[in-house]
Amino acid sequence: MFEFYLDTTDLQQLARFNKSIPLKGITTNPSILAKSGVGLKDTLINCSKILGPETRFHVQTVSKTTQEIINEAEELNALPYDIVVKVPTTEIGLAAIKELKNKRITVLATAIYSVQQGFLAALCGADYLAPYVNRIDAMGVSGINVVGDIQLLLKQHDLTSKLLPASFKNTQQVMDTLKLGVEAITLPIDIADQLISHPAVQPAVKQFENDWETTFGDKLSFES
Ligand code: G3P
């Protein structure tokens, strides 16, 4: 089943979107947590209260060596939440991912800017791969093509990693990514907002209301 995440810890927005979008959980990174000013423990408590106990949290390690990443991942994995440990796809990160898979810890390889990074992370056993679509676009390379090429390699080599693309700045990028058939996605709030609020919808609804009230006043449909 498709997994829909929001790339935020904004509680008000999570409460809002949880009503209209079937959310699997949230993705975070050190920048998102630092910007919120709320540490991981309180973030997990607060977000769980809103999204429920089944929520999946993608939480990034901040350690700087392979062994420290492994230790940090084990601590995260021991927390009483459904946590996927995000590891940056660097050389030391790939080494950590390999070890973490031996320990059966669920891992997302993050900060993927190239096809080769995605392929290597998948070979190391990452459960999820997060290519950064807009950041790749901003470097003059097609983020969608990077996602598509990783997907092709996963298929060709029978690799089971799920693509969970991140970093979007417009809905076209989102739709082009979804059309590839990725199994998961994470969106920032402003893009989720644009996805569910097409500017033509409210005028159309208003027109229906006006036409109805002109003929039937304040009656409801079944009363007419
Ligand atoms: O977690 C990575 C993702 O949040 C990157 O998004 O918008 O900072 O490029 P952005």
Q: Is 27 in the pocket of ligand 1 (CB under 6 A)?
A: yes
Q: Specify if 217 maps to a domain.
A: no
Q: Tell me the residue range of the domain where 139 lies.
A: 3-197
How many CB atoms within 10 Å of residue 149?
A: 17
Q: Is residue 209 part of a domain?
A: no
82 inside domain: yes
Helix (H, G, I), strand (E, B) or coil at 109: strand
Q: How much is the pLDDT for 46? A: 98
The answer as to whether 220 is a domain residue is no
What is the pLDDT at residue 11?
Answer: 98
Residue of 167, 173, 189 with the most ligand 1 atoms within 8 Å of its CB, for mutation: 167
- What's the pLDDT tens digit per position in 73-131? 999 999 999 999 999 999 999 999 999 999 999 999 999 999 999 999 999 999 999 99
Q: How many domains does the chain have?
A: 1
Burial of 128 per CB tally in 10 Å (0-12, 13-18, 19+): buried
| 214 within domain boundaries | no
For residue 193, what pLDDT band results from cuts at 50, 70 and 90?
very high
Nearest atom of ligand 1 to the alpha carbon of 135: 9
Any catalytic annotation for residue 86? yes
Query: Is there a domain that residue 216 lies in?
Result: no
Cα separation values, 106 from 87, 110, 161, 222, Å:
11, 13, 11, 51
Closest ligand 1 atom number to CA of residue 29: 1
Q: How far is the CA of 187 from the centre of ligand 1 (A)?
A: 9
Out of 19, 24, 64, 86, which one is annotated catalytic? 86
In a domain, residue 64? The reply is yes
**Residue 135 Cβ < 6 Å to ligand 1:** yes
Residue nearest to atom 8 of ligand 1 (CA): 167
**pTM for this prediction:** 0.95
Residue 199 has pLDDT above 90, yes or no: no
Pairwise CA distance, residues 95 & 176, whole Å: 32
Q: Over 90: is that where the pLDDT of 198 sits?
A: no
pLDDT tens digits, 14-73: 999 999 999 999 999 999 999 999 999 999 999 999 999 999 999 999 999 999 999 999
pLDDT (0 to 100) of residue 34 = 98
208 located within any domain = no
**Dihedral sign of CA atoms 62, 58, 42, 36 in order:** positive
Q: Measure 132 CA to ligand 1 centroid, in angstroms.
A: 7
CATH code, 25: 3.20.20.70
Question: pLDDT value at position 105?
Answer: 98
